[in-house]
Chains A and B, each alone.
Chain A
Amino acid sequence: DADVTQTPRNRITKTGKRIMLECSQTKGHDRMYWYRQDPGLGLRLIYYSFDVKDINKGEISDGYSVSRQAQAKFSLSLESAIPNQTALYFCATSDLTRPYEQYFGPGTRLTVT
């Protein structure tokens, strides 16, 4: 089984809808991240969490919120989806001792119409 899983893998939604993307990991890592990837722009950090009680904004957090329900679970919400949030979203984890060596989930392809 995969160490980092994401659900759903694909989602099409309409403008204004609320949507939640979920991430679970079995690696036992404390640190978890949410990124979005757009063509030509690379991965951009949305939010990151160092433990259940520590959540931080990344470079593009506007329009997004997160919840760290447990060490193993980190969800990303779009409160009111807009078309420019159409992107590939990745969850990642890392260990405290090697924080930059990150392990990614398979991604969620989100389309907002």
Chain B
Amino acid sequence: RKEVEQDPGPFNVPEGATVAFNCTYSNSASQSFFWYRQDCRKEPKLLMSVYSSGNEDGRFTAQLNRASQYISLLIRDSKLSDSATYLCVVPDTGGFKTIFGAGTRLFVKA
């Protein structure tokens, strides 16, 4: 099992839709999780940090399910500008490095 796995998508949704991505991880000892956003050919940027059961920031909600070892990212009322690749990130076993998922691509259409 890969350390971090994501559905590559793409997810194609209309403006205003609600969309959710899942990310599974293998290290049951992980305590913190992160979602990054990456626009095409640009650098990844931190979107949300999850240090407990979940986090919410405006239209974005991240939830953690420790029993099943996955985190999810929910985007409500999707905007055209939400079109990007969303990277799931989990610290590695040693705690010194971050493991990046390959990303989920989202396209929001008018």
| CB < 8 Å A-B pair total | 47
Known: A100-B89, A102-B46, A106-B42. A43 touches B100 (CB 8 A): yes
Give Cα A109–Cα B40 distance, bound, in whole angstroms: 13
Give Cα A109–Cα B43 distance, bound, in whole angstroms: 11
For the complex formed, measure the closest distance between the CB of A86 and the CB atoms of chain B, giving whole angstroms: 15
Give Cα A91–Cα B41 distance, bound, in whole angstroms: 14
Is A101 touching B96 in the complex (CB atoms < 8 A)?
no
Is B102 touching A102 in the complex (CB atoms < 8 A)?
no
Main secondary structure, interface of A, reads strand
Is B98 touching A102 in the complex (CB atoms < 8 A)?
yes
Tell whether B32 is near chain A: CB-to-CB under 8 Å: yes
Contact residues of B between 15 and 67, Cβ < 8 Å to A: 32, 34, 41-46, 49
Contacts of A90 in B (CB 8 A): 43-44
Is B97 touching A42 in the complex (CB atoms < 8 A)?
no
Give Cα A45–Cα B46 distance, bound, in whole angstroms: 17
Is B101 touching A42 in the complex (CB atoms < 8 A)?
yes
Is A100 touching B91 in the complex (CB atoms < 8 A)?
yes
Is A101 touching B42 in the complex (CB atoms < 8 A)?
no
Is B32 touching A40 in the complex (CB atoms < 8 A)?
no
Interface residue from A42, A45, A105 paired with B87 (Cβ < 8 Å): A42
Tell whether A48 is near chain B: CB-to-CB under 8 Å: yes
Tell whether A99 is near chain B: CB-to-CB under 8 Å: yes
Closest to B2 in A: A42
**Which B residues are within 8 Å of any A CB, using their own CB?**
8, 32, 34, 41-46, 49, 87, 89, 91, 96-98, 100-103
Given A35-B100, A100-B49, A106-B42, 19 more contacts at CB 8 Å? A40-B102, A42-B87, A42-B101, A43-B87, A44-B100, A48-B97, A88-B41, A90-B43, A90-B44, A100-B91, A101-B34, A101-B46, A101-B49, A102-B98, A104-B45, A107-B41, A107-B42, A107-B43, A109-B41
**Which A residues are within 8 Å of any B CB, using their own CB?**
35, 40-45, 48, 50, 56, 58, 88, 90, 99-107, 109
Sample 21 A-B pairs with CB under 8 A, ordered by A number: A41-B102, A42-B87, A42-B101, A43-B44, A43-B87, A43-B100, A44-B100, A48-B97, A50-B96, A58-B97, A90-B43, A90-B44, A100-B34, A100-B49, A100-B91, A100-B98, A101-B34, A102-B44, A106-B43, A107-B41, A107-B43
